[in-house]
Amino acid sequence: MCLVVMSKVEKEKILKECHDNPGLEGDVDLQVLLVGGKLMKVKSSSWKKVRMYKLHDDYVTVWQESHRIFKRKQNFSIDDVDSVRKGRQSEGLQKHTEAHVEDLCFSIFFKGRRRNLDLVATSVEEARQWVNGLEKILSNMKKLNRQQTSEHWIFNCMRKADKNNDNMMTLKELKHFLRQINIEVDDAYAKLLFTKCDTSNSGTLEGAEIKHFYDLLTHREEIDVIYKKHATTGGQMSADDLLNFLLNEQREVATLEDALRLIEKYELDDSAKHMNHMTKDGFLMYMQQEEGSIFNPAHKKVFQDMSQPINHYFISSSHNTYLMEDQLKGPSSTEAYIKALMKSCRCVELDCWDGAQGEPVIYHGHTLTSKVLFKDVIKAIKEYAFKTSEYPVILSLENHCTLEQQKLMAKHMISILGSALLTSPLEDQMPTAFPSPQELKGRFIIKGKRLNKLDAVFSGTSPGVEEDCVSEEDEAAETNSNGQKAKAKKSKIKLAKQLSDLVIYCKSVHFSGFEHAKDTQAFYEMSSFKESKAVNLAETAAKAFIQHNMTKLSRIYPAGSRTASSNYNPVPLWNAGCQIVALNFQTPSKEMDLNQGRFRSNGLSGYVLKPEFQRDPGSEFNPMTLTKGPWIKRQAFHIMVISAQQLPKLNKDKPKSIVDPLVKVEIYGVPRDTCSKETRSIENNGFNPMWNETFQFDIQVPELAMLRFLVEDYDATSQNDLIGHYCLPLTSLQNGYRHVPLLTKRGDVIPSAGLFVHLMLLDAK
C-alpha cells in the first residue's frame, strides 16, 4: 500500500512499490532534485531570474520559488508535465539565450496550454541531472498500472487534506478529503465511517486505521458480484473458472494456458498462486490491466497491411499546423508542429510568405498572427516527425513567396531534411500508382504546385521558371484580419523550378468535377476541398467521391470563416473515402476526439487502412443509401454502463463543488448508424457513481463506426460541463467487462479516472 500518512521508512518502502522500481529512491540524479538548487528562469531577453527549485519527497511535486506577493511558493505536479527537453529546444530559449549556453539549458513542457518553463542550470552536470531525474519520474509514472495510479491519486488527495502534516487524519480532515476526491456525504455518515475505522478511539486515524478506511472507500461492489458468480472452487477462481470467464463473459479466444498465465502474472497471494487459483484481489488487479481494457491490445501495435498505396489509408492530418490558438491574432510556433507530430499527425500545413532579411516565414496570411521562420519549422519537423510514428509525413505547402524566397525554401528543405526528403519517384520508370506507407517509411513528401507533369523526371524535359495561378484552395486568402471574406486573388505568381521539382506524389491541381478528374488527372495530381464543398459532394455524390479516392488523394480543410479555429465533423468525409481530412489540432473539440479515436488503433501510426469496400474499384458502396453489399455486416451492440471511478473535480476553487455525473454513449459512422443515448445523472458523487443502465445500438456498417463515451457534469440551468471522454473504432473494442480510460478535453489521460462497462457486439440474427 502507498500510504503517505505512514512513517518515513514505511513511506519509502511504499513509494518503491507504487513506482514499481526498487532503485528509484537511491538514484543519484533524484537525490540532487530532492535537495534542490537554484536555476535561472527565462521568460524574455530582459526577464531572467534565479529561482529555487526542489522535488518534494512525494516524488511527484516540484516546488518553485516565486517572488510574487501572493504566490511566494508555487508547486507543479509531474502529472501535468508532458515532456522535458535538454538544450535550447524551446522557442524562448532559442530567442532569449546565446548558443554557448546550449548544454546548460532545458525546458519543461506541460500538458494543455500552460506555458513551458525555460531554465538554465549553473553547470552541464546539473542540467543533465535535472533532465535525467525528471525523465525517470515521468517514465516510472507511465509504468504504473491502473490500481497504482488510483492509489497515487487518492493519497495525493490525502496529503492535501492532512493540513498540519502530522500523518494523522481528524474527522474534519476526513470530510475535507472526501470533498477532494469528489464525494459529498452528510456529517452523520462521515462520522459513522470515521468511528468505524478509529479502532483505537484516539479521535484520529493513523497507520492501519487509514489502511482500513482506504479499503472501505475503494471497495468495488460490482467486482464482488462478478467474481462471486465465477469463483466456484471453494470461493476462489480456479484456472478453469477463469477460462470459463474469459470464454463466456469476455468472449475471448483463450486456452487454459492463457488462464494460467494471467494467474501467474496478477495473483498476489502465493498460496492461491500455488493452487493455480485467482483471489478477488488478483482478479481486480487483472481487470485493471491492459487485458481488462476496452481497447484491444493487439491494435496498440501496427496490425494492418501497410503495403498498399497510400491513398488506401485514412491519414491523420492537421490544418494551419503552425497556430497555437485562433486564426486571426494567435501565436504561430514550431511547438505547434511538435505537438501535432507527437500525436502522430502525418500531414502538416506550412503557410509560406516572404519574410524580412530574405528569409521566408510561416504565418496565417492577411491576419495578425505572429510569424515563425520557415527554416526553424523544417528543423522542428525533422527532429520530431518520426518519434511517434515511422510512417511518411506530407508537408502541405501553401506558397505565397517570391521566386528568391521560394528558392531558399527549396534549399532549406533539401539541406535540413537530407536524404529523408523525397525528390524523385521511388521507381526507375514513370509510376502508375502511389507507393505504400511501408515503402515510404521515414520519408517526407512535399505537396504543392508543380510546373510540369511527373514524367518529365524521366523524359529529361526541364521548363524554365513559369507563371502559375494561385490555387483556388488558397485558404489564407479566404479571410482578412477582421474575419471577413476577402476577394479571391486573380493575380498569378511565379513558381521556382527548384521548389516545383520537389513535388513528386502530391501535385496540387484545381478540382473541376469527378468526370474531368477521371479523364485528365494523373494519380499523383490531388485536389483540396473546402469543407462545405466536400460535405456537399459527400452527401450528393458519395459513390463518385469514393471511386475518385480509390485512385487519387483528396484533402479537406476547414472553412476560412472558422476564425476561432473550430472544427468540422470528419466522419462524413471518411465515409466518402477522403484520406487527408485536415483539422485544427490546437482546438479541443468533439471533432478532434473523433480524430484521436480514429487513429488510436494501428500502433498510433497515423495511417489507418480503409475498408475494402472503399478500395475495391468494383464497389457500389454509398453511405447515404446503403444498398445491399459486403459493407452491410449487421451487428447488435449491447452496452451496460456500470460505474465510474475517481472522476476529477471540475471546480477546484470551490471545495464543496461536487460533480453530478452522467454518461453519454455515442456512435458515429454512416448516417443510419449515428446515434446517442445517455444515463441519468448521479447526484454529488464523482468518486464511485454507479448507473447499471443498459443500451442497445443496431449497427449496419461496423467497419466505419466509432464509439465515443462522454462523461459530463449535469447542470439543470446551463450546458453540462465535460468531465472526460474516450473514443475508439468499434472494430477495436473488446467484449465483456471492461474498463474505459478517460481523457481531458485536450486528449491527455486522466490518470485516476475511468468507466466500468459491459459490452457485447454480436452479429445480428
Helix 187-197 vs helix 171-180: angle between axes, to the nearest 10 degrees?
110
CA distance 480 to 487: 9
State residue 686 phi and psi, 5-degree precision.
-105, 0
Is 312 a catalytic site residue?
no
- Binding site residues for Ca(2+), as ranges? 320, 349, 351, 398, 658, 660, 684, 713-715
Q: Cα Rg for the chain, rounded, in angstroms? A: 28
Query: For the residues of 143-206, what is the DSSP string, one character each?
Result: H--HHHHHHHHHHHHHHHH-TT-SS-B-HHHHHHHHHHTTB---HHHHHHHHHHH-TT-SSSB-
CA distance 50 to 100: 19
From the list 277, 312, 364, 548, the catalytic residue is: 364
Contact 407, 363 (CB under 8 A): no
State residue 359 phi and psi, 5-degree precision.
-100, 120
CA distance 184 to 657: 9
From the list 152, 277, 319, 725, the catalytic residue is: 319
How many CB atoms within 10 Å of residue 134?
A: 21
Give Cα 507 distance to the centre of its chain: 30
Query: Which residue pairs from 257-265 have beta carbons closer than 8 angstroms and sit at least 24 positions apart in sequence?
Result: 262/286, 262/291, 263/239
CA 100 → CA 94, 97, 231, 568, distances in Å?
A: 11, 9, 66, 46
* Strand arrangement of the beta sheet that strand 721-729 belongs to: 675-678, 661-668, 706-713, 721-729, 736-743, 749-763, 635-645, 690-699
* Three-class SS state of 91: helix
Give Cα 693 distance to the centre of its chain: 28
The stretches of 418-463 forming alpha helices (DSSP H) are 456-459
Contact 632, 626 (CB under 8 A): yes
* Helix, strand, coil abundance in the chain, percent, nearest 5: 35, 25, 40
CA distance 267 to 278: 6
Contact 11, 4 (CB under 8 A): yes
Going through 418-570 in order, the beta strands assigned E by DSSP cover 444-448, 466-469, 492-495, 503-508, 525-530, 554-557
- Binding site residues for substrate, as ranges? 447, 449, 528, 555
How many CB atoms within 10 Å of residue 470?
A: 18
Alpha-carbon dihedral 273, 274, 277, 283, rounded to 10 degrees? 0
Contact 335, 328 (CB under 8 A): no
Degrees to nearest 5, angle at CA 592 with 588 and 595: 160
How many CB atoms within 10 Å of residue 334?
A: 23
Residue 108 burial (10 A CB sphere; 0-12, 13-18, 19+): buried
- Binding site residues, as ranges? 320, 349, 351, 398, 447, 449, 528, 555, 658, 660, 684, 713-715
CA 744 → CA 111, 121, 295, 523, 747, distances in Å?
A: 10, 33, 18, 40, 5
Nearest to 449 by CA among 426, 435, 467, 476: 467
Is 412 a catalytic site residue?
no
Catalytic residues: 319, 364
